[in-house]
Every structure is written in structure tokens, then in C-alpha cells.
Amino acid sequence: MTGGKVDFNLIREATRLDLVKLLEKIGGNKAIVWDEQLAGAFSHVADYSFLRSYDVCKMFYISKNKLPQNNVAHVIFLSRPQTNLMDLINQQLRMEEVKGGNRKEYHLWLVPRISLLCERRLQEHGVRGSFTSISELPLLLFRLESDLMSMELPMCYRDLQLDSDPSGLFHIAQSLMTVQGIFGLIPNIYGKGPAAKQVYELMVRMRREMGGNEPQVTPQIDQLILIDRSVDLITPLATQLTYEGLVDQFFGINNCTVKLPGDRFPQPNSEQGSTIDETNFQEVKTVQLSSSEALFAEIRDCNFSAVGPRLSKHAKSVVAQYEERHAAKTVGELKQFVQKIPQMEVYKQSVALHTTIAELIQEHIASGNFRPALQMEQEFLKGLDTDKINPFIEDCIAQKESLYVVLRLICLQCIVNSGFKPKVLEHYKRDIIHTYGFEHFLTLENLEKAGLLFVQQGRSTYATIRKTMQLTVDDVSEQNPTDMSYVHSGYAPLSVRLVEFLQWPGWRAITGVLQLLPGPTLTETQQLPSALRQRRGSGGSVQSGADGGTALVFFIGGCTYSEIAALRFLSSRVDQGGPEYVIATTKIINGTSYLQSLSDELVP
């Protein structure tokens, strides 16, 4: 899980350099007005103390409200290139100008690139001339962990499937060109799905446009594996059963932080890797989840059933460490013990933090329909009773269970059955509209358009895919896993099985399954410049899994924490000759956030 062969910190440093160049162009005190969605992701590039060192002394959010009183010389609006955000910037700018006071210069930084549509919208509002400068800040990838990067594009899948907007694919190709600029040309490229092919073609075009000006860097990444989310729609709908996956499912992890009920953490403290929202302490505790915290690094990818015993072992270790003080007889031994106390306190607080989080998860598991819904889901994944109206789903609708729980189960049933009979689909849709309201009609239409709800056109292909790819595993060991299926207690993510099968026995062995999955299959090589071939000792030919090396798996349309855990599990077997996997995604998603991104409500 270290991502040791490829240092993603280099991506952060390159991004930070772009930021510094823009900051240094603006002398004097500055205020940054953030697009709220960018603010969290930006913390992975530069924290407040770093920005303060470049004279950023105030920070606000882009909103309908006027900016607080400030005496800065420069105001920088930092935003994604979206016209609705330009409308808000226009409002704030006009309120600033009405307010008067000291004269300010206004700047607009668009991430990751300037948009003509946005400039036109500002022109229509009559404020384009109010900006001293409009620049682009090419922030494409954010390093979340040593082996994990995200583009933080939550709407990428929606843009592609519902709006036929390919701009996200262009940004993905750009980000991969940035990766190759830092880590060298990737000699072997594999992919599955229509979006994977489009990204590859964009990369080829971008490389051609560079001419002979490619960076002469010895390749550090041996394989690029592009996985289009549409190839595996099952995994995002399945309940994640790893510790981190359940934290995300119940509380929502955003930019490596999670907000938890503050009343379960009564005493303010200074846990390693956690911060507290002092202004709302009783309601919310914000915890930073990072592998820099040793205990979290150990349990994050464990099946939840294995977390309790591990926490118990660590709790006993804490007690044993403090008991050592009784064994200290000499002044020197006492001094040694005292020196260890700060480290022991951090460890103790870490154990207490994750014990409380585990208790919160357990309470959610024990309440409501979680267990019966999980059982129903496991039956669907095994292909049982998927072709008819499901009584449990009917009960959930009658109880007005969370709409996203209901939709998740219906979509999962539909996909594993390769579609519903028209009567079954219409029955579910009618029940949802009747119970949850007509305003959800658009959401149901969107789910059909995105391929999550559809009428069956032929026989189900899931049984063949499940058997060939070994998607369901009986008697999986959750405590000491020997197969990636532990992440869903018996279901292996199809996306990661594809990655595993690529290394051995190879995709040629599963051509029948690949033909059943949507979109083309890519197996391409990029020829390295001759000087780099000699330096690397390779002609850029396709490597077998036995050669090890490093593989970058890029999820187009989002990935789940269960898929990340499954890839880390494969990386842990690197001694068996497989590659070390590092991961990039457009966004980390779960079943709820995935369906929410595809939702719309009819407004009366």
C-alpha cells in the first residue's frame, strides 16, 4: 500500500509550482474566494500556512452573499469553469463595487482551464472588464495517499452518460500526459469500455501534437489500465464491507475527511490525524483519515468483522505500555518512560478514536434494514430470484425506506438480470412515483439513460461473467483473506478481477467475457524513444505479470473504497510476481453518492 515505486508527491509539487507562479504575479495582500467544491481538494496541494506565506490573508466562499469587510489589495476568485459559478461571482463582484472602500484589483483563476463560455457569461453580465487578469490553474490530479490520486470530478460519469459531455475525458487524458511528463512514457496501455478507448485516442493525439518535445524520462510506470465505470456498474451498487468503505457509506468521506457526531467525542483533544470544528464542537467532529496514522493504515482495508479483534489487541497494548511504569526502578528507567509518554498518548487517542468510530458503524449495522438489505444484495450477486418483483424491495418502499437504498437494490437486481421484463420495470417505477413523489420521475429517466434501469433484450449474461471471473466466492476468509472478495464478504469487484486476470492468465483467456462487457478492449503499446529503450533495457513491449513492475489503474467515472482495498490486496502479493498497483480516479464514490450524481428532481 505504500506506492513506493512511484512518488505521487511529485504530482503535488508540480501542481504547487503552478500555484506559486500565479501567486507571485500578484503583489500585496490577497483574499481568495473559493469555489466551495475546490476548497477541500485544494488542501491536498497547499494548506493555509503555505498560502499565508504568499500574502493570502483572507479566505471566503463564492456564494450569493456579499463578501465580508476586508482591506486586501487583491481579490482572487478561484473557480471551476461553470456558468452558474460565473453568475455568483458576478453578484459578489457587483456587491463589492457598490460597497466602495479601498480600491481592489480582481482576478479570476479557472481550474483546470479557461472556458470561453465562462468568459462570455461574464461579458453578458458586464463584469469581464472588472478583472485585472483571468488565468487558468491546471490542477488535474490531487494526491490523496501515497498510492492514490483523484481528479475530484464527481459529475464525470453523469456528464458522459446523461449530457454526452466529453470534456471530462479530455481532462483525464491531460492528467495522464502530466503523469507521463513526470514519470515517463507508459509503454503498455490496456483498457476496457468506450470511455477508455476515447481517453487513449486523446492521449495519442496529444502525444502527436507534442512532436519530438516529449520529456526524456526513464519510465517508472510499466502499465496503464483504463477502466470505464460503465463496464462494471455492479460494484458501486454493492455494500462496501471494509472499515473505510463503511465509514464512507454511513458518514461520507470527502477529501479524506469525515464528519462524525460530536457528542460521541466529548473531550477536545489532539489526536494524530484529526481536527476539531471548534465553532460547532457539540454537533460535529471532523476527522482526517490518513495512512500517516499507523492504526488507520492497518485497519482501513480490513473487512469490518476483522476490525474489532484488532482494536481489542491495540487497546490491550495501550494498557500494557502504561503498566511499564511499575517496572521502572531506576531514575534512568523512569526518564525513558516519561520520554515515551507523548507517543503513548497519541497511540491511546488513536485507539479511542477508531473504537468510537467502530461503535458508530456497529450501531448503523444493527439498526433498520441494513442486515436484511445486505442479505438480499448477496442473493442478487449470486444470481438468485432476480427476474421478478422482489418482496423485500416492496416492503422497503412501503416503509418509505431511504430512496437511495431502494434504488440501489432495484438497479443491482436489474443489472445482474441483464434487464427487467417490461411489467417488472413499470411496477417498480409506479411504486416509487406513488410513494416518493412525482418529482423523482426525472431521476428514474436518468437511471434508464445511464444504463442502470432497462428492459431485458435477451438472456442474462451475468451468470457467465460471474462464473468465468469468479465474482462470488463461498466461505471467504474475512479475518485473514486469501482473495479480494473479502471486501464485499463474498463478492469480488468485477473491475478489479479484470485487472487481476490481465496479469494472469491474460485477457486472451477471457475473450468471451470481454465481448459480453460494454465497449472495446484495448491492448496497446507506446514505443519509447531509442535512448530510453537502451537506458531501460526494454523495447516497450508488453510485459507479463511475472515481470512485476508498477501498474497505474485509472477509473473513468469513479471508484469505491472496496475497489481500492481490492487493488491494495493484489499489491500485497507482489512477491508472487505481480505488479505493484497505484490508483487514480475521477472521484471516490459509494452507492449513494453515485446515484445522487445521476439524480434530478422536477421543480413545480
Fold adopted by 9-139: Rossmann fold (3.40.50)
Please report the pLDDT score of residue 604 as a whole number: 60
pLDDT band at 336 (very low <50, low <70, confident <90, very high): confident
Please report the pLDDT score of residue 541 as a whole number: 40
Does the pLDDT value for residue 561 go beyond 70?
yes
pLDDT tens sequence across 105-162: 999 999 999 989 999 999 999 999 999 999 999 999 999 999 999 999 999 999 999 9
The closest of 245, 250, 270, 271 to 261, measured between CA atoms, is 250
Between the CA atoms of 541, 547, 548 and 549, what dihedral angle is there, to the nearest 10 degrees? -40
Q: Could you tell me where in the chain the CATH 3.40.50.1910 domains are found? A: 144-234+493-594
Does the pLDDT value for residue 32 go beyond 90?
yes
d(CA 281, CA 312): 28
Does the pLDDT value for residue 177 go beyond 50?
yes
With both helix axes pointing from N to C terminus, report the angle between 83-99 and 116-125 in degrees, rounded to the nearest 10: 40
CB neighbours of residue 410 within 10 Å: 26
Please report the pLDDT score of residue 267 as a whole number: 60
pLDDT band at 547 (very low <50, low <70, confident <90, very high): low
Q: Can you read off the three cell numbers belonging to residue 411?
A: 438497479
Out of 405-409, 435-439, 524-528, which region has the weakest mean confidence (pLDDT)? 524-528
- The architecture of the domain spanning 370-460 is Alpha Horseshoe (1.25)
Question: How many residues in the chain?
Answer: 604
With both helix axes pointing from N to C terminus, report the angle between 441-449 and 422-436 in degrees, rounded to the nearest 10: 150
Q: Which residues contact 485 (CB under 8 A, 6 or more apart)?
A: 470, 471, 472, 473, 476, 491, 492
What's the predicted TM-score (pTM) here?
Answer: 0.92
Q: Could you tell me where in the chain the CATH 1.25.40.850 domains are found? A: 370-460
Burial per residue of 442-451, b for 16 or more beta-carbon CB atoms within 10 angstroms, e otherwise: ebbebbeebe
Q: Can you read off the three cell numbers belonging to residue 316?
A: 490491550
d(CA 347, CA 417): 48
188 close to 224: Cβ distance less than 8 angstroms: yes
d(CA 330, CA 349): 28
The pLDDT mean for the chain works out to 91
Fold adopted by 243-366: Syntaxin Binding Protein 1; Chain A, domain 2 (3.90.830)
Q: Residue 597: what residue type?
A: S
| Average pLDDT for 38-51 | 91
Please report the pLDDT score of residue 271 as a whole number: 45
d(CA 554, CA 172): 9
Q: Could you tell me where in the chain the CATH 3.40.50.2060 domains are found? A: 9-139
Does the pLDDT value for residue 544 go beyond 50?
no
Largest CA distance in the chain: 82
569 close to 242: Cβ distance less than 8 angstroms: no
Please report the pLDDT score of residue 534 as a whole number: 53
Q: Report phi then psi at 184, rounded to 5.
A: 90, 160
* 3-class secondary-structure state, position 130: helix
CA-CA distances (angstroms) from residue 38 to 146, 152, 228?
A: 21, 8, 24
Report how far Cα 452 is from the mean position of its chain's Cα atoms. 20
Please report the pLDDT score of residue 269 as a whole number: 47
* 3-class secondary-structure state, position 269: coil
Q: Can you read off the three cell numbers belonging to residue 577?
A: 510476481
Q: Which helix (H) or strand (E) covers residue 1, if one does?
A: none
**Residues in a beta bridge with 491:** 472
Q: What is the DSSP letter of 256?
A: T
Q: Which residues contact 381 (CB under 8 A, 6 or more apart)?
A: 234, 238, 412, 416, 466, 471, 472, 488, 490, 491
Does the pLDDT value for residue 28 go beyond 60?
yes
pLDDT tens sequence across 492-542: 999 999 999 999 999 999 999 999 999 999 999 998 877 676 555 544 444
Does the pLDDT value for residue 326 go beyond 90?
no
CATH of domain 144-234+493-594: 3.40.50.1910
